[in-house]
Structure 1
């Protein structure tokens, strides 16, 4: 597969590496992604404690670290993003033992990530979620300090409200440290009913205000769970109950019209829709066929009229 520069706009999600995706399959996915032109790899220090018999995180970062060591020049071919906040400090005791975002927790969390990855710095460090038990200024100063020491090239906020991010950026400016410059939120074409609870604890949905804020402030915007865990194409993985409403039916109807018009799959149209909005989708694939399908999305042409039809359906 020849490299495609457009694939650099995709992010490879690695949440299940080392747990439900074994090392051999993870290596194959990483190899194919880089060969196709991919650059960004997204992980977290807590991945995936809920699937690991130890009850602790770190498996994903260890697999990525092993892959980097096994591939000469591998570190120069990829950009690594990881997260701190939710790693359990005591096995099978979550969320009460989650590390949080105190200055000490952030520093220790990043040190552990760098050790498992076998790198001197990560390209992007995320605050995985809010920690209202710690003063925001303390968290902001800790993150900015890691950019100052060279352990992170950039910092960002995942699962944070936009007003909270703006507050954090103002604090960073006041203290002369690097501010959060990227947002990561859950987003897809289909949306749950307003106010409906998602089964995934801690997920924060992207809103129109978040999108406006990111574009206005020039922040990099990443979207996780863009394909709703296979729900667009797999009858055995239906959307959560929160998505059971007339809007989803309308969206799927237009989506099928566009697959007929473009020759693309449902998943590819959804990813192409995100890319057209300047959003980086995180694709958490588990086999090579899924990865190839996601890579093909960068070449799906959606014109303004088609985008308008999707907007009207939502």
Structure 2
């Protein structure tokens, strides 16, 4: 599998696709989770993404399921030195059965406790990529960033990233870290796909932040920033009739984009999902997609995206679809 550096020119080499493990140990059982992880690493994948809050919204969940499953797989396969583990802090509820209204947040104590818990569940001594999962504006940035720096300095964390943060807040945090000589955010994780939502209608997942033109412009201007995209395949909505698009995608541009996407997929002999992933990976700025699957068969389709080449003409057609005509 192709690789690229994340977190700047000295960052670790990561596979061009990241495996998201949100449902592992819950709606995807451990046996299937292990099979997916085995297939991903056999194909050359090495970046595995989880969080300390997956999947708190399911009845009976402890929020430990995903990290614990990945940890058991790591222990059983002996592949710690061959993979990069990405996990997150900040969104785990502090009261069982509640939601983000009781999220742990990003205070010094919360981050320190979250990191210790993740390291224990994963059975590792270092988190390769550690994310602040959601913003916490009740805590000064200095406190959050200073704590993250101490984790990096202490060897518990290698690279840090901002997930679901606004572009201006990410830029402010990076400037503050530089001014203090601290480890800075060098990865950004947002929701992104080929279809573009309306921003006047919220996404069904209230904490999700979608990539904006402003963020793309910022990442493009910052060579050490890696952009990673979750929900790249919109939960299967490109190919599955039982997975309708959220209302935010209900606008004229969606139909136009879907039509061109299917045309391009037919011309290339690829699936729409594969074309979407190839489009993201070849974008400017280049995007590292986080792909979530629930079976080895779904993963095999995703891996096929690495063999899809988008000529400039087809990329231009995809880019232009659904865009308003230029004014004269």
Query: How does the TM-score come out when normalised to structure 2?
Result: 0.92
* The one of 296, 304, 308 aligned to 2:312: 304
Q: For 1:228-271, what per-residue CA distance to the aligned partner results, in whole angstroms no more than 9, with x for missing partners? A: 01000000101112211110000011001101110000000000
State the 1:62 CA deviation: 0.3
Distance 1:175 1:296 in 2: 44
Root-mean-square deviation (Å): 1.2
* The one of 4, 15, 19 aligned to 2:22: 15
Q: For 1:200-240, what per-residue CA distance to the aligned partner results, in whole angstroms no more than 9, with x for missing partners? A: 11100101221121121120110000000100000010111
Q: Does 1:5 align with 2:5?
A: no
State the 1:307 CA deviation: 1.1
State the 1:41 CA deviation: 0.3
Distance 2:71 2:98 in 1: 26
Q: For 1:267-287, what per-residue CA distance to the aligned partner results, in whole angstroms no more than 9, with x for missing partners? A: 000000000021011000000
| 1:125 corresponding residue in structure 2 | 130
Q: Does 1:295 align with 2:303?
A: yes
* The one of 273, 279, 289 aligned to 1:281: 289
SS, match of residue 153 in structure 1: strand
Aligned 1:22-61 pairs, distance under 5 A: 22-53=29-60, 55-61=61-67
State whether residues 56 and 87 of structure 1, in contact with CA within 8 Å, keep that contact through their aligned partners in structure 2.
Answer: no
* The one of 216, 219, 243 aligned to 2:221: 216
| 1:104 corresponding residue in structure 2 | 109
* The one of 166, 181, 184 aligned to 1:179: 184
Structure 1 unaligned residues grouped into runs of 5+: none
| 1:225 corresponding residue in structure 2 | 231
Structure 2 unaligned residues grouped into runs of 5+: 4-13, 323-328
Distance 1:216 1:89 in 2: 38
| 1:206 corresponding residue in structure 2 | 211
Q: Does 1:170 align with 2:175?
A: yes
Aligned 1:124-273 pairs, distance under 5 A: 124-218=129-223, 219-273=225-279
State the 1:102 CA deviation: 0.3
The alignment of Structure 1 onto Structure 2 pairs a total of residues equal to 309
State whether residues 130 and 159 of structure 2, in contact with CA within 8 Å, keep that contact through their aligned partners in structure 1.
Answer: yes
State the 1:52 CA deviation: 5.0
Distance 2:228 2:56 in 1: 23
Query: How does the TM-score come out when normalised to structure 1?
Result: 0.96
Q: Does 1:91 align with 2:99?
A: no
The structure with more helix, counted as a fraction of residues: 1
| 1:115 corresponding residue in structure 2 | 120
State the 1:93 CA deviation: 2.1
State the 1:59 CA deviation: 0.8
Distance 2:201 2:108 in 1: 34
SS, match of residue 18 in structure 1: coil
SS, match of residue 229 in structure 2: strand
State whether residues 20 and 51 of structure 1, in contact with CA within 8 Å, keep that contact through their aligned partners in structure 2.
Answer: no
Q: For 1:41-67, what per-residue CA distance to the aligned partner results, in whole angstroms no more than 9, with x for missing partners? A: 0000001111251x4311100000100
